[in-house]
A and B are shown apart, each in its own frame.
Chain A
Amino acid sequence: MSVQAPTRAAATESCARAPVGLLAELTHRCPLQCPYCSNPLALERAAGELPTEAWLDVLAQAADLGILQLHLSGGEPTVRRDLEDIVAQAAKVGLYSNLITSAVTLTRERLERLAARGLDHVQISIQDADAINADRIARYQDGHGKKLEVAGWVRALGMPLTINAPIHRQNVASLPAIIELATSLGAQRLEVAHVQYYGWALQNRQALMPTRAQVLASAELVEAARERLKGILVIDFVVPDYYARRPKPCMGGWGRGIMNVTPSGKVLPCHAAETITGLVFDNVRERRLRDIWLASDAFQAFRGTAWMREPCRSCDLREVDWGGCRCQAFAFAGAAAEADPACDKSSLHAAFTRVAETEAATPATAFVYRKPGGSAPARGTIGAD
Chain B
Amino acid sequence: MSGVEQPRRTIIGASSAPALPRHIKLRHDAARDRWMILAPERVFTPDAVAIAVLKLCDGARTVDQIAGELAQAYNAPEETILGDIIAMLQGLADKGVVVV
Contact = CB atoms under 8 A, between A and B. Distances in A.
Interface of A: 1-6, 9, 12, 14-15, 18, 20, 65-66, 68-69, 94, 96, 98, 120-121, 123, 148, 151-152, 155-156, 158-160, 162, 183-186, 188-189, 230-234, 236
Contacts, number: 114
A232 B44 contact: no
Contacts of B21: 160
Contacts of B71: none
Contacts of B49: 1
A156 B3 contact: yes
B47 A65 contact: no
A98 B41 contact: yes
Contacts of B93: 231
Count class of interface residues, chain B: 35 or more
A68 B96 contact: no
A66 B43 CA distance: 13
A66 B96 CA distance: 24
Given A4-B44, A120-B25, A162-B41, 9 more contacts: A1-B50, A2-B47, A2-B50, A5-B42, A6-B44, A12-B32, A68-B29, A231-B94, A232-B7
Contacts of A94: 27
A160 B22 CA distance: 9
A18 B43 contact: no
Given A3-B47, A120-B40, A151-B1, A66 B29 contact: yes
Interface string B82-100: 0011001001111111000
8 contacts: A1-B47, A1-B84, A2-B46, A6-B45, A160-B23, A186-B1, A189-B40, A231-B8
